[in-house]
Structure 1
Amino acid sequence: MKFTENIQQVAALQPDYLGFIFYEKSKRNFEGIIPELPKNIKKTGVFVNEYIEIVVSLVEEYQLEAIQLHGEEFVEYIKELKSQLELSQELYQNENSKLGKKKAIEIIKVFSIKDHFDFEILNSYVDDVDYFLFDTKGDEKGGNGIHFNWQILKNYPFSKPFFLSGGIGLDDVEKLQEILNFNLPIYALDVNSKFEIEPGKKNIEALKKFKNNVIKNVVK
């Protein structure tokens, strides 16, 4: 998300998460003010190999509730990030004791897939992330608008829930029904470029239609 009015329009559709990209090389890079959102929508910051201090600072500035790591962040990076976030939360709690305890920041680690994927890579991450996200390997860090071969996910060996991403659009409801038959721990659908009017600006009517189609034909 990038534009204030469009953010509010999408928020009215009640997504579980709204993503804000903090990566200067992205055409969707977010700079500005996030309008007030319903409490049930998790503000999610998307980062690519960013300095931990900057991630923590932006989490504090925008009161982010989830972090999506879209680069080559190793487990050691994630452990240190979580440690710094916990320290930041403790300081916040001490200074704002009347506001109640804040929930831990969710960590979503992205892995890009094309024609094959070695799931053993995930072993070292399982205990330190809340979710994985699988999208399509392409020229850009996300938002390439193309699918990867979802059949590869049949080999997913973990119970750790994951986000399914990668060029999901209005024409994919039937394919989504098919992948649900794999009995995989799919936690969420991440949609982006197939619903854009321009980078960072979403087509509200298309999103409404997709949401209704998913609820009617996919969600059981």
Structure 2
Amino acid sequence: MLVKICGIRSIEDAIVSSLFKPDYMGLIFCESPRRLDAKIGKTIVMKLSSEKFIGVFQNNDIEEVINIAKICNLFGVQLHGKEDPKDIEIVKKNKLLAIKAFRIENNLPENLSEYKPDYFLFDKTKNCTSLNTKVLKGYNLNTPFFIAGGLNSKNIERIIKEVSKPQLCGVDLASGVEKDNKKDITLLEEFFKKLKK
């Protein structure tokens, strides 16, 4: 199971997260309490140059996305808004890993098959407390996907069992491993112990 620790806010966050050897770490460059500017993002990536950092964007102009990815030396890009399928193609042409994220409530997007990312990511909507796993029963594409949305050590086993799809390849963590707006080593330890089970 791949792990992406998202919402890295500082070098300290990145160092603590890196102790658990996640596959990816996420830096947020769109509207969010965890938003960074490109200068801070570049500093974090330079400090932990062996890690694979994914930049998270939402409805940004694709040229701006690629520009920030180059400035920060990102490994990949996650598009988390109403981006066009062509934007994913542009990301991949620039030799960046491409993740297309959707917030899902009662249905999967009708045009899902038009997108050709390396991974999909399915997140909960902002008015829900957790991901609606029943919706994912209808997922029938070959593209592997991550799940996100309040994942923590208390719910991860249940949610993975509920999804139970061979295309499920990874989990995306943020608030569930934070304390006082920082990545917390104890919460991360608890989560990774449960995930290994």
- TM norm structure 1: 0.77
- Does structure 1 residue 123 correspond to structure 2 residue 113? yes
Report the residue type matching 1:6 in the other structure. D
Higher relative contact order (CA 8 A, sep 6+): 2
Kindly report which structure 2 residues correspond to 1:145-156, keeping only aligned pairs within 5 A, or say none.
146-156=129-139
Identity of aligned residues (%): 31
Structure number having the greater strand percentage = 2
- TM norm structure 2: 0.85
Residue equivalent to 2:4: none
Give unmatched runs, 5+ long, in structure 2. Answer: 1-7
The change in CA–CA distance for 1:42 and 1:129 in structure 2 (over 3 A counts) is same
Give unmatched runs, 5+ long, in structure 1. Answer: 86-103
Kindly report which structure 2 residues correspond to 1:62-211, keeping only aligned pairs within 5 A, or say none.
62-83=72-93, 85=94, 104-114=95-105, 116-125=106-115, 128-138=116-126, 146-179=129-162, 182-199=164-181, 201-211=182-192
The ranges of structure 1 where at least 4 consecutive aligned residues each deviate by more than 6 angstroms after the TM superposition are none
- Does structure 1 residue 22 correspond to structure 2 residue 13? no
Cα displacement (A) at 1:30 = 1.3
Cα displacement (A) at 1:13 = 1.3
Cα displacement (A) at 1:81 = 4.1
Distance in 2 between the 1:27 and 1:117 partners? Answer: 27
Cα displacement (A) at 1:174 = 3.1
Matched position secondary structure for 2:64: helix
**Which of 28-37 and 148-157 deviates more?**
28-37
Distance in 2 between the 1:113 and 1:13 partners? Answer: 29
Residue equivalent to 1:96: none
Matched position secondary structure for 2:68: helix
- Alpha carbons 1:167, 1:192 under 8 Å: kept: yes
Cα displacement (A) at 1:69 = 0.4
Residue equivalent to 1:56: 66
Residue equivalent to 1:97: none
Cα displacement (A) at 1:4 = 1.3
| Cα deviations by residue, 1:6-28 (Å, 9 ceiling, x for unpaired) | 211111211111000011x3111
Cα displacement (A) at 1:154 = 1.1
